[in-house]
Amino acid sequence: MTSIAASKESLGELAVFTGHPAFLSPLHVGTPQPVDADGFVGRVRDILDSRWFTNDGPCVKEFERRVAEELDVEHCIAVCNGTIALELSAGAAELTGEVIVPSFTFVATAHALRWRGLTPLFCDVDPSTHNLDLAHLEGLINERTSAIIGVHVWGRPAYSEHLERLAERHGLSLFFDAAHAFGCSYAGQPVGGRGDAEILSFHATKVINTFEGGAVLTNDDDLAARIRLLRNFGFVDYDDVRALGINGKLPEMSAAMGLTTLDHFDENVAVNKRNYAHYRTELDSIVGVSVLTYDEAERNNYQYVVLELDPADCALSRDDLVRVLHAENVIARRYFYPGVHRMEPYRSLYAGLVLPATEAVADRVVVLPTGQTVDEAAVATISRVIRLAVGSAEKLPRPLPPFRSPASPTIRVA
């Protein structure tokens, strides 16, 4: 549990004045959930004894079977990360030309397409769902379009009959980037089985964690077979390569981690849900601030606590709130600012492209820490900081301190 160093009862206690940071060490968005070390190490011992470390080993097979069962889908093909899962899906489906994607997503959704030589065409989002704006999408479809990728942003499903009808009417493949949505449901059904395929991420920061990892989920036998082929260099037998594959395999050690986190999925979601409820209780009454909601009639993993600051009503800008929080050792994140279309190489490729809703959402969203490192007291402290900062925005010292940078080494480019 993260230690609270200062409880922040009054404005002057904020770290942007002279107070100590609220937390002794940085509280990140995405800190991995604690791992059942005994369960994991037991599996690791078996792997070491078996001398079978990768190449579709028994742990990977068990992990694939359990994910497929859990999500009620025919095939789960585990791969080395979610980005490769997207790339392999595009390759296996032989996509060509342009693929429509939202710009309000993690950059990997577009990068995977570029690595395949495809052109991502950026669609605006619905400002309330943060998912694809279908009216805008319809206008983007042209003779070069081969597919649409919907992203279940924050784990809130991007499915809709309209979207499926559009894809069908225009003969387009339909994929879903479900990197955020493991364990979520739509109309009572687990997310994972719609469209041609859906992809998952099992990055360390996700609810199911394989250190790095991902998967393609599909009910299409042929597509599944092609993805398995491409995942292993295109080999169908010793010495027999049939396609331009890649090394997309998930190691046994990673699958062991995945199985261990699957064993504890429900308790981790329960903690996320508890934190989400506490944040809502603490923050919903602040004018100009709202916690993005999940449909309580469905299953949610609550792995993202997303705050939106309405610029019309909130006296403090989103960026200034992030500066205040970083000073308190609360490393809140501006996902998915500034929007993929405003990142390279897309910024140069689409100079002048404006996606008003994407840009507005990207300017007002802040993601707060959750998971097992955050308890009720931490939520209360973070919320008090937000209440004090928003309530007295005009009294905050200027300039505010800069954003904190990532702890891991980054390459600085001029």
* Residues near ligand T4K, by CB under 6 A: 28, 30-32, 81-83, 105-106, 108-109, 151, 177, 179-180, 201, 203-205, 214, 335, 406-407
Which residues face 79 on adjacent strands?
214
User: Which amino acid is it at 207?
Assistant: V
Closer residue to ligand T4K, CB minimum distance, 105 or 290: 105
Element (H, E) at 133: none
Report the candidate in 154, 235, 226 with the shortest Cα–Cα distance to residue 196.
226
CB of 192 to ligand T4K, least distance (A): 14
User: Residue 302 corresponds to which tokens in the numbers above?
Assistant: 């609550």
User: Which segments of 87-223 are extended strands (E)?
Assistant: 98-102, 119-123, 145-151, 173-177, 185-186, 189-190, 197-201, 214-218
Rounded Cα distance between 225 and 221, Å, is 6
**For ligand T4K, which is the closer residue by CB, 151 or 361?**
151
| Least distance from ligand T4K to the Cβ atom of residue 179, Å | 3
Of 314 and 382, nearer to ligand T4K (C-beta) is 382
In angstroms, the CA 99 to CA 33 distance is: 34
**Residue nearer to ligand T4K on the CB measure, 82 or 190:** 82
Question: How far apart are CB 139 and ligand T4K at their closest, in Å?
Answer: 24
Q: How far is the CB of 19 from ligand T4K (least distance, A)?
A: 23
Question: In this structure, which amino acid lies at residue 102?
Answer: P
Of 31 and 185, CB closest to ligand T4K = 31
Position of minimal CB gap to ligand T4K: 82
Between the alpha carbon of residue 262 and those of residues 24, 166, 249, 256, 362, the distances in Å are 31, 35, 19, 10, 32
Looking at beta carbons only, is 80 or 390 nearer to ligand T4K? 80
CB closer to ligand T4K, 14 vs 181: 181
Give whichever of 81 and 383 is closer to ligand T4K, judged by the CB atom. Answer: 81
Query: What kind and span of H or E run contains 368?
Result: strand 365-368
Q: Transcribe 295-362 into DSSP letters.
A: -TTS------EEEEE-TTT-SS-HHHHHHHHHHTTEE-B-TTTT-GGGSTTHHHHTTT---HHHHHHH
CB of 86 to ligand T4K, least distance (A): 7
DSSP-assigned letters across all residues of 202-264: --TTSSS--SS-EEEEES-HHHHHHHHHHHBTTEEETTEE-S---B-PPPHHHHHHHHHHHHT
Quote the DSSP letter at residue 105: S
The residue among 83 and 268 lying less far from ligand T4K, judged by its C-beta, is 83
Which is closer to ligand T4K, CB of 173 or CB of 396?
173
Minimum distance from residue 229 beta carbon to ligand T4K (Å): 21
For the bound state, the minimum distance from the C-beta of residue 256 to ligand T4K, rounded and expressed in Å, comes to 16
Place of tokens 């809703």: 357
Q: How far apart are CA 370 and CA 23, in angstroms?
A: 14
Q: Describe the chain by its helix, strand, coil percentages, rounded to 5.
A: 40, 15, 45
**Cis peptide bond N-terminal to 369, omega within 30:** no
